[in-house]
Amino acid sequence: MRQIILDTETTGLDPTTGDRLVEIACIETINTVPSGENFHVYIDPQRDVPEEAFRVHGLSADFLRGKPLFENVAEEFLAFIGDATLVIHNAEFDMRFINSELKRCGRAPIPMDRVIDTLAMARRKHPGSPNSLDALCTRYRIDNSRRVKHGALLDAELLAEVYSELSGGRQSALVLASEIKVVHHVEAKVVRPRPQPLSLSISSEEENAHRSFIGKMGEKALWQKYNLAKAS
């Protein structure tokens, strides 16, 4: 399953009052494991960067001046995400900015039914606990020591690890597969059911000895009580 872990940085909190995107980072994952394919770009917001925003992400107007405009990277961004599900922490915030930028350049918005909000996931899984990205990194023992300031690419990398834990840990991605296909130059396992069950690996003598052992335990065995209840 292909998903895109996404994060952004902005000039402020509200695109309806003129705030703009300044950074987008996307990490492709296959079955919650990063594939190595990323999309990352700094964007010239064509406006100033308020001090409050600069203190958060450290991206100054001077640094961003001359970087690509969103309209110049929109096609590449949309091609990279394709039709994959987007995984975002506090998704409503990022999607408001992304869809505002898409609207500016005459493109269709991305519907929210394509988005998984890890903040909502964390609140369901850990009600009453802090569920910021930093708090979740601490909870799951993910090293976030490099996160001195917010940065879209680093935050997306950390979120990929957090999302894996929220989804059940790395073992949730361990699946049997009978076919390999290439998705965006990355080998991806296609999950298919086993057509026939595996044959027993024990000998007939071992099976008979096991049956004899169980027979000596009588009806006091817990699984015997379960079988009798099930039969009735």
CA–CA dist 149, 54 (Å, integer): 10
Task: Give dist(CA 21, CA 1) in Å, integer.
Answer: 28
CATH number of the domain residue 150 falls in: 3.30.420.10
Cβ 114 vs Cβ 86: under 8 Å: yes
Whole-angstrom distance, CA of residue 59 vs CA of residue 25: 14
Q: Are residues 226 and 132 in the same domain?
A: no
Domain identity same for 147 and 207: no
Note whether 177 and 70 are same-domain residues: yes
Residues 213 and 141 in one domain: no
Annotated catalytic residue within 40, 89, 126, 150: 150
Q: What is the DSSP string of 209-227?
A: HHHHHHHTTGGGSHHHHHH
**29 lies in the same domain as 106:** yes
Same structural domain for residues 169 and 118?
Answer: yes
> Are residue 184 and residue 211 in the same domain, yes or no?
no
Tell me, yes or no, whether 105 and 40 share the same domain: yes
Q: What is the pTM of this model?
A: 0.72
pLDDT by residue for the chain (232 residues), tens only, comes to: 999 999 999 999 999 999 999 999 999 999 999 999 999 999 999 999 999 999 999 999 999 999 999 999 999 999 999 999 999 999 999 999 999 999 999 999 999 999 999 999 999 999 999 999 999 999 999 998 877 678 899 999 999 999 999 998 754 444 444 444 444 444 444 444 444 454 555 667 777 777 777 677 766 666 555 555 555 5
Told to judge if 150 belongs to the known catalytic residues of this protein, a careful annotator would answer yes
Q: Two tokens at 50?
A: 């308020």
Residue 101 φ then ψ, to 5°: -65, -40
**Short-list 150, 145, 149, 170, CA closest to 160:** 170
- Residue 6 CB partners (closer than 8 Å, separation 6+): 24, 25, 26, 27, 81, 86, 87, 88, 94, 156
Query: Can you tell me whether residue 34 is helix, strand or coil?
Result: strand
Which residues are within 8 A (CB) of 63 and not within 5 positions of it... i.e. 6 or more apart?
A: 42
Residues forming a β-bridge with 10: 21
pLDDT value at residue 202: 61
Residues 27 and 123 in one domain: yes
Strands in the chain per DSSP E: 2-10, 21-30, 33-42, 85-88, 115-117, 177-183, 186-191
Shared domain for 156 and 89, answered yes or no, is yes
89 shares its domain with 142 = yes
DSSP class of residue 151?
-
Which structural domain, as residue segments, surrounds residue 219? 199-232
Residues whose CB is less than 8 angstroms from the CB of residue 212 and which lie 6 or more positions away in sequence, other chains included: none
Q: What pLDDT, on the 0 to 100 scale, is given for residue 41? A: 98
Total count of domains within the chain: 2
- Whether 119 contacts 131, CB under 8 Å: yes
Question: Where would I find the beta strands (DSSP E) of 105-213?
Answer: 115-117, 177-183, 186-191
Together in a domain, 127 and 181: yes
State phi, psi for 54 to the nearest 5 degrees. -60, -40
Residue 102 DSSP one-character state: H
Among 126, 161, 168, residue whose Cα is nearest residue 146: 161
